[in-house]
């Protein structure tokens, strides 16, 4: 009887080993899959973070308001000029900050928004939400830049580029007013632009611009 019991016990142990091995393999497989998933998530966050903090190129800003521009200088008031690509998804944040900047300027400032608008896309892009958002901002006029020539005159290459000219047409600020691509809220670049408006006679300041290329989206 003892030999039979021993044989039965050995058979039970032998049957248990494959089951335990399969469980171990399953656990290891789950760990590998989880590790790959975590690595992909981490990499995605790093890429997104780098993208959000990748600034666009700054053109050669003109320190005196371009006389040949179709954007008119309003004398005696601060001129806040924003260049935008209507199809840039991250420029909605720039419009929000621009709206707040206009509130800071109150009645002493006028706003002008210049949209890159080639004739081949006007029927489509003129209906985009970004333009509708700008139209709701008080004391702001819109200019359509059909060839990009106005952007070239001012030295704007990236959507979201803001220029602040004083009442004499002298450039006081050139750059972006968001902390990163597509993000609104308190940030140091907006504060610099706000101080430029409040100070009236500030030192020239420049900040990075986070946005799409003005001519990069077709």
Does the pLDDT value for residue 145 go beyond 70? Answer: yes
Digit-coded pLDDT (tens) for 154-167: 999 999 999 999 99
Check whether residue 30 and residue 91 sit in a common domain: no
Q: How far is CA 202 from CA 111, 120, 167, 177, 189, in A?
A: 19, 41, 13, 17, 15
Distance of alpha carbon 193 from alpha carbon 164, whole angstroms: 8
Check whether residue 36 and residue 109 sit in a common domain: no
Check whether residue 175 and residue 83 sit in a common domain: yes
Count of beta carbons in the 10 Å neighbourhood of residue 121: 16
Range of 201's domain? Answer: 78-206
What is the percent of the chain where pLDDT is above 90?
58
pLDDT value of residue 144: 96
Return mean pLDDT, the chain: 80
Is beta strand 78-84 parallel, antiparallel or unpaired with respect to 161-165? Answer: antiparallel
Q: For residue 66, is it within any domain?
A: no
Check whether residue 116 and residue 179 sit in a common domain: yes
Does the pLDDT value for residue 139 go beyond 60? Answer: yes
Please report which confidence band the pLDDT of residue 182 belongs to, taking 50, 70 and 90 as the band edges. Answer: confident
Q: For residue 71, is it within any domain?
A: no
Q: For residue 11, is it within any domain?
A: yes
Digit-coded pLDDT (tens) for 26-80: 566 665 554 554 444 433 333 333 334 455 555 556 789 998 899 999 999 999 9
Distance of alpha carbon 91 from alpha carbon 211, whole angstroms: 6
Check whether residue 94 and residue 150 sit in a common domain: yes
Where does the chain show beta strands of DSSP type E?
78-84, 109-116, 140-145, 161-165, 171-175, 205-206
Those residues whose C-beta lies under 8 Å from the C-beta of residue 20, and which sit 6 or more positions away, are none
């Amino acid at each position: 009887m003892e030999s039979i019991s021993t044989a039965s016990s050995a058979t039970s142990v032998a049957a248990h080993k494959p089951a335990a091995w399969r469980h171990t393999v399953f656990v290891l497989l789950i760990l590998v899959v989880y590790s790959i998933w975590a690595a992909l998530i981490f990499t995605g966050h790093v890429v997104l973070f780098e993208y959000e903090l990748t600034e666009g190129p700054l053109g050669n800003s003109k320190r005196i308001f371009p006389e040949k521009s179709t954007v008119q200088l309003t004398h005696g008031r601060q001129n806040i000029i924003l260049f935008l690509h209507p199809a840039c998804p991250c420029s909605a944040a720039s419009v929000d900050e621009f709206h707040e900047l206009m509130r800071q300027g109150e009645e002493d400032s006028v706003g002008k928004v210049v949209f890159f608008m080639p004739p081949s896309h006007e029927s489509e892009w003129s209906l985009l939400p970004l333009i509708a958002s700008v139209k709701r901002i008080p004391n702001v006029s819109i200019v359509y830049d059909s060839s990009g020539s106005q952007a070239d005159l001012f030295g704007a290459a990236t959507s979201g580029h803001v220029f602040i000219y004083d009442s004499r047409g002298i450039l006081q600020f050139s750059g972006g007013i968001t902390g990163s691509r597509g993000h609104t809220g308190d940030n140091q670049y907006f504060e610099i632009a706000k101080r430029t408006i409040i100070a009236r006679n500030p030192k020239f300041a420049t900040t990075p611009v986070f946005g799409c290329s003005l001519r990069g989206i077709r």
